């Protein structure tokens, strides 16, 4: 028998029914086998979870028998010590780890992030900044010194000094000496996140608070905010000249671009061919000069101004000078905003390329849980933790330093104290590129993650039941492998089984009549009597489902029409069965073996019932 997944859905035939008793509660004891007691909640969960996958209706009463048989196998597997093997433990731990992931991330966080960034993309900000560099791993004294420099520069701006002048004098951004810290216009997803957040939070004409990024301390002056004009797509031909080129070199490039422009505009030369042949921008030249979509703020102003001045698709600009060279620009398309599917695809790509964005779902969930469990820092402990991480370079050195003061408090979680010892297993979360407080929170979030993972079964019945189902499924699978599926019957036994059931191992059989699937044995007895009296309408009303013929052999109903053993007491068959033509053993050998394994399984269950004497504590009505 080829069985790959050990779960109730594949080891049993289960179906849904509406005959459950409303009075039962999830915590009510349902089944007792030895000292193990299964709750009604687990029984009900598994019935509802797996029942919908079945093609054959089975009521809760019948499922209770199947469920008991299954739990008997679980008990026997435990008695044999299968749950103590390393293979079992490894596979179960892997599964639980995968299952828990869905509970330990905020699956809606990226959607909220994308929605916020898309809203921001409708606006462009013209801003300047002053940067005081400070590495993420800088020691506290150096960090404080950098912050004081930033605060002093900002104080000068607030007193009314010219921003560009102060930037040229104080900023560590090399470009500030030329541009006074002016960044031009930008929109969302063009700056590091902390910088972007500060810029979008600052009104035009005002200066932001000091903000720290991985580059150091910044403050931002917002000159202007304007609506985004949408995106444009162009193709271009470029004649490049090097930085510091002589006037003669520039004149030569201008002469070349003018000749190309004349050939296209006045003599009908094909733009794409000219781009491929003459453009010095080789990445776009191979595509006929075609560039990606861009906003006005995403490219050099001299280029974007000329591009956005083109009024219609196909319009071609006169040669345009930028710091990179001369360009001829042809408009290809223009749109008000990025289509949603493209924007979502871009965010998805960023999740794989941006460390910060990839962490959003995890951090959002951990922040939510930290709040739920009332996490609070011990300020002195937090500073000590950050100091240890900054002063000690290797993970091993950090762990040793933390272990030396293992009892020092660092905070409180769920009303219980956290100490440096709690942080020890998680110091590997510290990143050299992350900011200190963010790194410290990642250590806390790792602690919160483990704490929550240990509470998932208590908090979420669905998770608990799923874990139990898989745990039991692995045990039953291994038990069946050992005692049933590996024991292939010998050829003579297979031949006897084949010879004793000629009607089952046939092809072309037919059935005319009805099959009544009933929710309880009591209902099946009544249906059987009504059918005998010819009252089929009343009988159908009492059944969960009625299947009417003709039915051909080989369908899912063979076990009721050409049975190997006694037909289920929950099923009533009324009609005429016509047997088909006898098959050769070679044609149905696998089915014969499967039937024999089913017989062996029935015997195993009978032995286990005698051994464990299961007791159902709640009657299914």
State pLDDT tens for residues 428-438.
999 888 899 99
Residue 345 has pLDDT above 50, yes or no: yes
Which residue, 122, 125, 132, is CA-closest to 201?
Answer: 125
pLDDT score of 54: 64
Q: In the chain, what's the furthest Cα-to-Cα distance?
A: 111
Q: Which residue has the higher pLDDT, 17 or 364?
A: 364
CA–CA gap between residue 466 and residue 449 (Å, rounded)? 20
396 with 432, same domain: the answer is yes
Q: Considering Cα of 551, then 556, then 557, then 558, what sign does the dihedral take?
A: positive
172 with 212, same domain: the answer is yes
Residues β-bridged to residue 413: 416
303 with 379, same domain: the answer is no
pTM recorded for the entire structure: 0.75
Residue 458 lies in a domain: no
- Report which listed range, 5-19, 49-63, 446-460, is most confident: 446-460
Record the tokens describing residue 12, joined without a space. Answer: 């049993």
Per residue in 325-342, pLDDT (tens digit) is 999 999 999 999 899 999
Q: What are phi and psi of 11, to 5 degrees?
A: -90, -10
96 with 129, same domain: the answer is no
Q: Which residue has the higher pLDDT, 116 or 323?
A: 116
Range of 377's domain?
373-453
198 with 89, same domain: the answer is no
Q: Which of 309, 336, 363 is the last residue of a domain?
A: 336
* Residue 501 confidence class, pLDDT cut points 50, 70, 90: very high
Terminal alpha carbon distance of the chain: 35
Query: 328 with 237: CB under 8 angstroms?
Result: yes
217 with 249, same domain: the answer is no
Percent of the chain, pLDDT > 70?
95
H helix runs in 22-85, sequence order: 40-51, 60-79
Per residue in 444-453, pLDDT (tens digit) is 999 999 999 9
144 with 86, same domain: the answer is no
177 with 259, same domain: the answer is no
Residue 117 lies in a domain: no
Residue 219 has pLDDT above 60, yes or no: yes
pLDDT score of 23: 60
C-alpha distances (whole Å) from 590 to each of 4, 581, 582 are 17, 18, 16
C-alpha distances (whole Å) from 195 to each of 20, 183, 210, 536 are 58, 12, 10, 76
Query: 467 with 93: CB under 8 angstroms?
Result: no
Q: In CATH, what number is assigned to the domain containing residue 304?
A: 3.10.50.40
3-state secondary structure of 292: coil
Residue 357 lies in a domain: no
Residue 201 lies in a domain: yes
Q: Which of 166, 198, 227 is the last residue of a domain?
A: 227
Number of domains within the chain? 5
């Amino acid at each position: 028998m080829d069985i790959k997944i050990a779960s109730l859905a594949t080891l049993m035939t289960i179906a849904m029914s509406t005959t459950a008793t409303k009075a039962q509660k999830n915590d009510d004891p349902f089944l007792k086998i030895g000292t193990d007691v299964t709750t009604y909640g687990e029984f009900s969960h598994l019935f509802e979870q797996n029942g919908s996958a079945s093609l054959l209706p089975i009521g809760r009463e019948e499922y209770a028998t199947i469920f008991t048989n299954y739990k008997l196998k679980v008990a026997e597997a435990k008695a044999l010590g299968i749950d103590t093997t390393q293979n079992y433990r490894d596979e179960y731990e892997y599964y639980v780890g995968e299952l828990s992931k869905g509970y330990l991330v905020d699956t809606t966080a990226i959607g909220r992030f994308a929605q916020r960034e898309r809203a921001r993309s409708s606006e462009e900000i013209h801003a300047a900044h002053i940067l005081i560099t400070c590495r993420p791993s800088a020691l506290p004294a150096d960090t404080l010194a950098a912050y004081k420099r930033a605060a002093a520069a900002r104080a000068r701006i607030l007193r009314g000094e010219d921003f560009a002048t102060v930037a040229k004098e104080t900023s560590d951004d090399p470009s500030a000496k030329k541009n006074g810290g002016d960044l031009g216009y930008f929109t969302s997803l063009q700056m590091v996140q902390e910088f972007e957040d500060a810029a979008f939070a600052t009104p035009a004409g005002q200066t932001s608070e000091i903000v720290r990024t991985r580059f150091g301390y910044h403050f931002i002056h917002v000159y202007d905010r304007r609506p985004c004009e949408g995106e444009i797509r162009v193709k271009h031909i470029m004649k490049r000249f090097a930085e510091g080129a002589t006037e003669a070199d520039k004149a030569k490039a201008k002469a070349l671009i003018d000749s190309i422009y004349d050939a296209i505009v006045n003599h009908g030369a094909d733009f794409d061919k000219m781009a491929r042949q003459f453009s010095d921008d080789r990445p776009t030249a191979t595509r006929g000069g075609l560039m990606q979509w861009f906003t006005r703020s995403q490219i050099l102003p001299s280029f974007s101004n000329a591009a956005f001045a083109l009024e219609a698709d196909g319009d071609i600009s006169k040669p345009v000078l930028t710091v990179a060279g001369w360009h001829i620009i042809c408009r290809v398309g223009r749109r008000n905003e990025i289509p949603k599917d493209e924007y979502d695809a871009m965010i998805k790509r960023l999740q794989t390329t941006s460390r910060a964005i990839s962490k959003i779902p995890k951090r959002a969930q951990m922040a939510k849980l930290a709040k739920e469990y009332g996490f609070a820092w011990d300020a002195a402990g937090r500073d000590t933790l950050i100091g240890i991480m900054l002063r000690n370079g290797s993970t091993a050195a950090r762990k040793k330093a933390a272990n030396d003061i293992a009892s020092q408090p660092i905070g409180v979680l769920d009303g219980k104290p956290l100490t440096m010892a709690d942080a020890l297993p998680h110091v590997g979360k510290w990143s050299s590129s992350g900011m200190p407080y963010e790194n410290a929170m990642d250590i806390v979030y790792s602690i919160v993650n483990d704490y929550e993972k240990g509470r998932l079964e208590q908090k979420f019945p669905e998770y608990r039941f799923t874990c139990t189902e898989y745990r039991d499924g692995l045990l039953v699978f291994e038990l069946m492998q050992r005692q049933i599926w590996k024991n292939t019957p010998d050829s003579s036994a297979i031949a006897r089984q084949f010879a004793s059931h000629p009607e089952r191992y046939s092809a072309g059989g037919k059935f005319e009549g009805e099959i009544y699937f009933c929710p309880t044995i009591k209902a099946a007895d009544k249906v059987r009597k009504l059918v005998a009296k010819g009252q089929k309408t009343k009988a159908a009303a009492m059944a969960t489902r009625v299947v009417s013929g003709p039915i051909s052999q080989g369908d899912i109903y063979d076990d009721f029409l050409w049975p190997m053993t006694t037909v289920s007491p929950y099923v009533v068959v009324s009609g005429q069965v016509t047997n088909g033509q006898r098959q050769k053993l070679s044609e149905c050998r696998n089915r014969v073996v499967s039937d024999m394994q089913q017989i062996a399984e029935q015997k195993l269950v009978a032995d286990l019932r005698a051994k464990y004497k299961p007791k159902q504590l709640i009657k299914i009505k």
